[in-house]
Structure formats: structure tokens, C-alpha cells
Structure 1
Amino acid sequence: MNSLSIGFSTCPNDTFIFYALMNNKMKCKINFAETLEDVETLNKMAFDSELDVTKLSFQAFGHLLDDYLLLRSGSALGRGCGPLLVSNKKYEPEELINKKIAIPGKYTTAAMLLKLYNNTVSADRQDYNNLIEMSFEKIIPAIKDGIVDAGVIIHESRFTYEKEGLKKIVDLGNWWEKTTGLSIPLGGIFAKRGLGEETIKKIDTCIRNSVEYAFSHREELMGYIKKYAQELSDDVINQHIDLYVNQFSIDLGEEGIEAVRYLLKKGYKKGIFESYREDFVIY
């Protein structure tokens, strides 16, 4: 088999997961040619079917159900790990109507959770004209500079926003957990359906083995992770990994699959997605 293209983000949780696979630390019968980009770039690449295997936000996946299949390994799900809506002043949710709110990409799960959270974030529920897309690392500076009134932060920003003098308006992940009782499905690893079940299962096994290697050789990974990380502090990097890489990253299990299923169905019922299909994950 020729090399398959694979895309994952530069964030510590993804470089942690893929270190062993990308650095020949384990046996895998498939060769990969990697692309590292921020998750929203990967989301958009998937709409053009550019990558055989890729990290995606679950909101993006909701639009691509006929093209990609969710793997059981490599996902970012959990509790206490959701995006935060922050500002430099303490807004009440109802005060956000038509305020400029930065989001880390149109297709991110963070943006979807904001839309599901509160109808007051926009006067026009179809257009969401007050939501401003930008790269996640630019959101905190944009709030501080007054370019936007508030922003939804993800990744390392969760651990640094208070040092920047910003205030939390709402923890969207905590809201999701309290509302649904489920873990927060943020992002996963997906393979093109056209690769076929046999190949997809081999890919899934390789990624699971890579995650297990990472847990057993954590110190070995730090140089690779720091090569791509936005925040180089060991403490922040370790907090990031501890928050987003867990048992769900090894195998979603039924609990993880149910959380994804609920999000996809909710998005379909709310008109965010045009369709839903039950066979969204490899078994």
C-alpha cells in the first residue's frame, strides 16, 4: 500500500498521541505522510477530501458523515475539558446579544456548543453574524485589544486566560455535562469510508498502540511536543495532555460513542447538520 495522508493538530494532545506512530516507535503495516495544522484548517481540508485520515472537530464531522468514519482511538473526550467563554468584563449571558464574540473556527465543536448554549448570543439564529472566526491563539489578544467583546477559548488558552486578566463568563463544557450527563466530545480521528473496513481497522489499531506507547514513555515525547506547541511551559503542556488525553483516547467505548451520538443527533435536530446516520463509527 502507498502512504496514506494523515492530518493532526499541533496541539500537545495530538502530538502526544501521534508521536510513536510518526517516529517509528512501534510496528504499523501502514505508512503515513503527515500534515500538521490547526484543527480548523484540518476541518476545511476534509470538506475537500484532502486527507485519508485526519483529526476533525465533531461539528465538522456532522457535515461529513457520508465521507468519513470515526475511529475508536485518538479522540478528545472527557469531563472538565470543554471550551470557555471569556471576556475582560463579567457579562451576564443575556448581555451578549449581538456582542462580537470570537470563535476558533466555524466548524469547531466549541462554536457549536456556544450556539447550543444560549439563544441570546445572536439576534439572528440563522446567520450568527456576531460570531467572528479567528485562530484560537489570536482570541485572547483580540479580547484584550477590544477587537471583540468576548471569545470562546480552547487548548492551552484554558490555562492562561486568568493570567491575561480575563474573566470566565461560562464553562461551555460544564454546561454540556450538566445538561446531558455525558462527556464532552470535542474532536476525533477519522478515516475516509472509501478506504474500506479492513484498512480502517488497521489504522485504528496503529493509533491505539501509539497512544499506549505515549502513556508509557511520556518524558521521551516532550521534545517533539514542544516543537509544535504554542505554549512551551512544561506545566501548561502537561496540564493540556492530562485534560485531553485519557481512556477515551485509547478507545471511545460505549460511553464515548453515546456522547458523540447525542451531539450529532442534537445538531441534526437543531438544523446545524443536514443529516444523521447511525453508522458513524468503526466497530
Structure 2
Amino acid sequence: MNIAFSPCPNDTFVFHALVHGLIPGAPSLDVTYADIDITNHLAASGNGPDVLKISYAALPWVLEEYALLPCGGALGHGCGPLVLSAGEQYDAASLTGKRIAVPSERSTAYLLFRLWASQNVPGGIGETIVMPFDEIMPAVENGAIDAGLVIHEARFTYSSYGLHLVADLGSWWEQDTGLPIPLGAIVARRSLDLEAITGWIRGSLKYAWAHPEESTEYVMSHAQEMSPDVTQAHINLYVNEYTENLGADGYGAISALLNRAAAEGLVPQIDPALLK
């Protein structure tokens, strides 16, 4: 079975047991490790992997071919993307007309940013530039761009780049909706045995929780020079109850995000029946 997910600690932690043949009955995997911008485009290409991690913001373009699985993804509280700046002004108005780096045009982070900016940045931003998320903070630090939209472990490390918080989009979303932040989804081709795949992924997650020490070497080998403390904080934040089961709040958050974005013309309208 072909699968694609990011090398980030939350994904490698969740999929360690499945990748290493520790889940009874699961097939061997051909794994592609890729940035979320790459997996979003793979899913929409028509010839993507059997199973992959994508942004929830990319779902409207792939739901007819791929089904959303109820486990393995990233939602939560206090884990949203951040808008960072190195300038002297650290408020929303300071972004008017500026050049902003984003991790993917179809990322949840960028979709949240667009929804937030439409309400909070007078006159709108200037140019958006897509770049790998691990290159954004250095680019803000050296002045190549005015501000950056960052995800993942950046919330733990941005101060080391001398950057300042302009907005926590997760906090904005939670205060506005009362719902968790939907970030990354696990999807599988509808032609496959979705119940079986769900069981394998959920089994892999439960194995990781029961035997966290077994995944350490694998997780750290893909952690892009993160310290062990930052790696563990990343896992603690992004692997949670919604990773095991989206539940009513998880599905509610996904629907709220995509319906609001569709109403503003940012994504195609989805068929609610395709979400479950």
C-alpha cells in the first residue's frame, strides 16, 4: 500500500508501528515522506498514493476520490498556526500591503489566515509567497519577506529567531467558533477497504501510546534536527483524542471551516455526505 505523510514528529509517531509491520493484518507500506504542500498536490493530481496526509483546506478538491478517515490526523486546541514578524510593529494593521510567506496555498494555515485577514487587516495584505514551512522563519529573520505564517514546532522555537507574534490564528478560531482547530487530515482512496485502513491506523496510534519509547529513534531520524524536548512537545500537542477519533467536535470543526471558506469563495462547496 502506498502512503504519504510528513516527516513531522506527530505523523512519524502515529505511523511508526504501521510502517514497521507491528500491526497484525496490515499490509507492507511504500512510504513517501513529503511536505504538506507536496501531499496536497499529490492528492489532487489524480494519481496520488492510496493513503496520505493532507490539509483539511485541501479536502474540497479531493473528496470524490478520497474519503476522510476518522483517525490519524491533527486537530486540537492551542495548536494553531502563527503569524510572525521581525518588524517593529506587531499588530494586524502592520501587515497591510506586506509580503507574507505561507506553507501552502491549500494549507489549513493559509485558509485560516485568509479568513482572519479579511476581518483584521485593513486594506488587505500584499503578496503571498509559498515556501517550505522550515524555511519561513529564517526568511522573516533575514528580511527576505515581511512576515510569515508558520505551523508545527515553530510555536516552540520562533523566539530563537528574534521574531514576534502578530496573531495566533488558533486562538482566534477557538474564540470565534468554540471548536478545535482542524489542521491535517488522513484520507484514503474510496476504492479501498476504508474500515480496515482505519483500524490499522488506529491500532498504530494505540501502539505508539502504549510503547512510546519504541518510536523514538524513528521519530528523531526524521525530526529535522529538532531537540528531543521540542520533538516531544510537538507530539504532545498534535497527537490527542481527535487523532484517535474525530468525534462530533472534530467533524463540526471541519464543517465550520470549509463552509465558512466556501461562503467567502475561498474553496468549492462540499457535499456534507462525503465527509463521513
The TM-score, its normalising length taken from structure 2, stands at 0.95
Q: Give yes or no for the alignment of 1:262 onto 2:261.
A: no
Partner SS for 1:194 = coil
Residue 63 of structure 1, CA deviation:
2.1
Partner SS for 1:111 = helix
**Contact map agreement 1:40 1:107 (CA 8 A) in 2:** yes
C-alpha separation in 2, matches of 1:226 and 1:29: 24
Q: Which amino acid aligns with 2:201?
A: I
* Aligned match of 1:189: 186
* Aligned match of 2:128: 131
Percent pairwise identity: 41
Partner SS for 1:155 = coil
1:171 maps to which of 159, 163, 168: 168
Residue 217 of structure 1, CA deviation:
0.8
C-alpha separation in 2, matches of 1:168 and 1:113: 16
Alignment map for 1:62-141 (pairs within 5 Å): 62-89=60-87, 90-119=89-118, 121=121, 123=123, 130-141=127-138
C-alpha separation in 2, matches of 1:211 and 1:37: 20
Partner SS for 1:102 = strand
Relative to 1, partners in 2 of residues 1:60 and 1:144: Cα closer, same or farther, differing over 3 Å? Answer: same
* Aligned match of 2:18: 21
**Contact map agreement 2:19 2:28 (CA 8 A) in 1:** no
* Aligned match of 2:2: 5
Aligned pairs, number:
273
Residue 254 of structure 1, CA deviation:
1.2
**Contact map agreement 2:8 2:223 (CA 8 A) in 1:** yes
Q: Which amino acid aligns with 1:237?
A: T
C-alpha separation in 2, matches of 1:205 and 1:141: 40
Residue 194 of structure 1, CA deviation:
2.9
**Displaced runs of 4 or more, over 4 A:** 120-124
C-alpha separation in 2, matches of 1:27 and 1:180: 40
2:50 maps to which of 46, 49, 52: 52
Partner SS for 1:188 = strand
Partner SS for 2:274 = coil
Calculate the aligned-residue CA RMSD, in Å. 1.5
C-alpha separation in 2, matches of 1:237 and 1:209: 22
Runs of 5+ consecutive residues of structure 1 not aligned to the other structure: none
C-alpha separation in 2, matches of 1:37 and 1:8: 6
**Contact map agreement 1:103 1:153 (CA 8 A) in 2:** yes
Q: Residue deviations 1:125-171, cap 9 Å, x none?
A: xxx75111100000011001111111011111111101211100010
**Contact map agreement 1:76 1:186 (CA 8 A) in 2:** yes
* Aligned match of 2:38: 41
Q: Give yes or no for the alignment of 1:148 onto 2:142.
A: no
Runs of 5+ consecutive residues of structure 2 not aligned to the other structure: none
Residue 253 of structure 1, CA deviation:
1.0
Partner SS for 1:27 = coil
Q: Give yes or no for the alignment of 1:244 onto 2:238.
A: yes
Q: Which amino acid aligns with 2:196?
A: K
**Contact map agreement 1:26 1:210 (CA 8 A) in 2:** yes
C-alpha separation in 2, matches of 1:93 and 1:122: 8
Q: Which amino acid aligns with 2:144?
A: I
Residue 94 of structure 1, CA deviation:
1.7
Relative to 1, partners in 2 of residues 1:106 and 1:121: Cα closer, same or farther, differing over 3 Å? Answer: farther
2:210 maps to which of 207, 212, 216: 216
Q: Give yes or no for the alignment of 1:158 onto 2:152.
A: no
Q: Which amino acid aligns with 2:177?
A: T
Partner SS for 1:113 = helix
**Contact map agreement 1:115 1:121 (CA 8 A) in 2:** no
Partner SS for 2:219 = helix
C-alpha separation in 2, matches of 1:58 and 1:238: 24
